């Protein structure tokens, strides 16, 4: 159970990073 929670936490952080990266690339391409 603890391992699963840690995995979910990692997934959440990973998704946030992907989101930020996608927004950053979009901003760069639109300029």
31's enclosing H/E stretch is: none
pLDDT at residue 13 in the model: 94
Structural domain total, the chain: 1
Question: Computed over its alpha carbons, how large is the radius of gyration of the chain?
Answer: 14
pLDDT at residue 8 in the model: 86
What is the full per-residue pLDDT of the chain (31 aa) written as tens digits? Answer: 677 778 888 999 999 999 999 999 988 887 6
Phi, psi of 29 (to 5 degrees): -75, -30
CA gap 25, 6 in Å, rounded: 29
pLDDT at residue 2 in the model: 74
> Whole domain around residue 14: which residue ranges?
1-31
């Amino acid at each position: 159970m603890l391992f699963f929670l840690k995995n979910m936490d990692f997934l959440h952080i990973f998704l946030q990073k992907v989101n930020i990266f996608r927004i950053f690339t979009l901003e760069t391409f639109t300029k």
